[in-house]
Structure 1
Amino acid sequence: MAGDGNSAYGSRPFKRSRSHFADRITADGRDGWPVRAGRYRLVVSRACPWASRALISRRLLGLEKALSLAVADPVQDDRSWRFTLDPDGRDPVLGIRFLSEAYDRRETGYPGGVSVPAIVEVTGGTLVTNDYQRITLDLATEWTALHREGAPDLYPRARRDEIDAVMAEVYEDVNNGVYRAGFATGQTEYEAACAGVFRRLEALADRLARQRYLVGDTITEADIRLFTTLVRFDAVYHGHFKCNRWKLSENPVLWAYARDLYQTPGFGDTVDFDHIKRHYHQVHTGINPTGIVPLGPDLSGWLAPHHREELGGRPFGDGTPPGPVPADEEVPARGRP
């Protein structure tokens, strides 16, 4: 995952590293990487919340044909994310077995962790960026010439200050907070992180009791970033990371909000609960040394009515929902409710 490094094995207090490769793919190509259809490949794990942001943004914006997709096995080994889901264990476009090969082509002997999401140039197979905080913002603002007709504005200029403020709080206390709780090595450290998670979730619930989405009356980048943590909450964070003051499904507002987004095209159709559960429980051996993957929770509630439409709001603003999921990108039945 983004910046997890060896701390995923619980050997020391959790500290998320910055993205080492922060080049940007822009309309004017000012970093040497201009937006071009077919030039780049997005590498993700469906288990990773940071990569899931990019999956959702790509779907909502209709970039499937412009930016191809590689999905890694949810269980990586010490050689990094593996393409064992593909025939012969090799990505069919990049021709590599491990994402680390693209990192090595960018910087030989790179000492940091190999993280997703990552964007790799197809010709040459070189890593372009692993800047998980910036990738989705650039998809929304720099890739506009390749957006589908009716694509939503996920980062509207008039709302950016408010979106940025909300995202900063969500990142610190929720997105990253669950990791600080889960990988804590002392009781005081754990309690502070866990308390921060639920304090922020309660504040977000108060906000969302009055409005359908986090900022304005449409889906924005802020909703994407909160959703990717909420959708994993009961499946892994509640038990595996000990964020267990209450379950998401026990908070009426957040549970309805999460279901609303899950049932919105572009959100739930990118989520693979099987990949999520297997990654966290089989890779984080410092937390779960047996590698046993729980059978629960029951996922059927994700499809229950949410009634959030009563708050108004227009999910896609003046735009339209994305079309059907490409056949080769559909989540297998075992990963869905």
Structure 2
Amino acid sequence: MAYVNPQGEFSRDTNYITTRITADGADGYPVEPGRYRLVVARACPWANRTIIVRRLLGLEDVLSIGFCGPTHDERSWTFDLDPGGVDPVLKIARIQDAYFKRVSDYPKGITVPAIVDVPTGAVVTNDFAQMTLDFSTEWTAYHRDGAPQLYPEHLRDEIDEVARRIYTEVNNGVYRCGFAGSQDAYDKAYDRLFTALDWLTERLAAQRYLVGDTITEADVRLFTTLARFDPVYHGHFKCNRSKLAEMPVLWAYARDLFQTPGFGDTIDFVQIKQHYYMVHTDINPTRVVPKGPDLANWLTPHGREALGGRPFGEGTPPGPTREGERVPAGHCAG
């Protein structure tokens, strides 16, 4: 849920349902295999984080996943990819129904990702930032053998600090550009975004990953924005100082992650473009979806191995994507 203030500045409502699913069940929702369903849309960068982390940690057998389609109306994301347009587990056509089960007159935006309590059909949380941290810290009893440490205790302060700047300046920064309602608001948003991207370039020039020598939560959070930069944000959101493919350090870093199991195999470029260009009719009233850019270059050598680092630390890569959870052929690079 977002709005544009009288100065034309985009602002995101971050007042989410902050109930947590924890090992001790302090909020009334204990971690429990099979009890919850993660509802996502491949198009959404915030939901994409949860898809990646769930896969890296190997939570597929304990936390089922439901995929909404790439477009939605003013009411809700819908399960139009499923037979009959109904989620096979929750038996609903709109994620809105699960929100109303929790709060009958839920007044805010119906967002993904959301975790639903299957027995009651009610949303437990849509707090996407806390969700992935809890996957790393509260669901540990169900991590796969060889699961990486995405939020290691000794690096949490630094991860939090880096992630905070990535969120305000990059993840949300592209939206601040795209939905600016005045020239002045846009100019300021543009400058803020590229100042942050220059900072990230400097940080990543000499180290393979954002914090430490392994992939962490911070990398997941940056990756989902970078993956959408050239297909959407560069043109649609006017973030056009340069394409990602014209920023050598960030482009190599993004390709490195894309080619890492659990990252690129979650990216559906077709759905990503359909979502932004068809839903944001105030920005793109024709709803015409661009054919480009060419995606083959995502698979070109990146050379980042020369910086050292171990993607999964002492852990191992996740196995192949599960049947029924794979990005459709032709929707990804390669």
TM-score bracket for the superposition, by shorter chain length: over 0.9
What's the secondary structure of 2:209's corresponding residue? coil
Q: How does 1:262-301 map to 2 (within 5 A)?
A: 262-301=258-297
What's the RMSD between the two structures over aligned residues?
Answer: 1.0
Which amino acid in the other structure matches residue 11 of structure 2? K
1:325 to 318, 321, 324: 321
What's the secondary structure of 2:330's corresponding residue? helix
Which digits, 9 at most, give the CA deviation of each residue in 1:252-297, with x for residues without a partner?
1000000000000000111100110000000000000000000100
What's the secondary structure of 2:228's corresponding residue? helix
Runs of 4+ in structure 1 over 3 Å off: none
Contact 1:42 1:118 in 2 (8 A): yes
Q: Could you tell me how far apart the structure 2 residues matched to 1:79 and 1:192 are? A: 31
Counterpart residue number, 1:256: 252
* Shift in Å, 1:195: 0.8
What's the secondary structure of 2:116's corresponding residue? strand
Q: Say yes or no: does 1:113 pair with 2:109.
A: yes
- Structure 1 unaligned runs (5+)? none
Contact 1:117 1:132 in 2 (8 A): yes
2:200 to 190, 204, 209: 204
Which digits, 9 at most, give the CA deviation of each residue in 1:95-153, with x for residues without a partner?
00000000000001111110000000111211000001100000011000000000000
Q: Say yes or no: does 1:163 pair with 2:159.
A: yes
* Shift in Å, 1:20: 2.8
Q: Could you tell me how far apart the structure 1 residues matched to 2:63 and 2:198 are? A: 37
Q: How does 1:22-101 map to 2 (within 5 A)?
A: 22-101=18-97
Q: Could you tell me how far apart the structure 2 residues matched to 1:38 and 1:185 are? A: 44
Counterpart residue number, 2:332: 336
- Structure 2 unaligned runs (5+)? none
Which amino acid in the other structure matches residue 47 of structure 2? A
Which amino acid in the other structure matches residue 66 of structure 1? V
Q: Could you tell me how far apart the structure 2 residues matched to 1:313 and 1:196 are? A: 30
Q: Could you tell me how far apart the structure 2 residues matched to 1:334 and 1:110 are? A: 38
Q: How does 1:85-234 map to 2 (within 5 A)?
A: 85-234=81-230
Q: Could you tell me how far apart the structure 2 residues matched to 1:52 and 1:253 are? A: 23
Which amino acid in the other structure matches residue 41 of structure 2? S
Q: Could you tell me how far apart the structure 2 residues matched to 1:204 and 1:79 are? A: 37
Contact 1:118 1:127 in 2 (8 A): yes
Q: Could you tell me how far apart the structure 2 residues matched to 1:22 and 1:270 are? A: 26
Which amino acid in the other structure matches residue 179 of structure 2? F
* Shift in Å, 1:18: 1.5
Contact 1:82 1:98 in 2 (8 A): yes
Which amino acid in the other structure matches residue 22 of structure 2? T
Which amino acid in the other structure matches residue 232 of structure 1? R
Q: Could you tell me how far apart the structure 2 residues matched to 1:220 and 1:43 are? A: 23
Contact 1:19 1:132 in 2 (8 A): no
Q: Could you tell me how far apart the structure 1 residues matched to 2:158 and 2:120 are? A: 40
Q: Could you tell me how far apart the structure 2 residues matched to 1:254 and 1:20 are? A: 31
1:241 to 237, 260, 284: 237
* Shift in Å, 1:221: 0.2
Q: What TM-score do you get using the length of structure 1 for normalisation?
A: 0.96
Which amino acid in the other structure matches residue 87 of structure 1? P
Q: Could you tell me how far apart the structure 1 residues matched to 2:119 and 2:293 are? A: 42
Which amino acid in the other structure matches residue 197 of structure 1? L
* Shift in Å, 1:79: 2.5
Q: What TM-score do you get using the length of structure 2 for normalisation?
A: 0.97
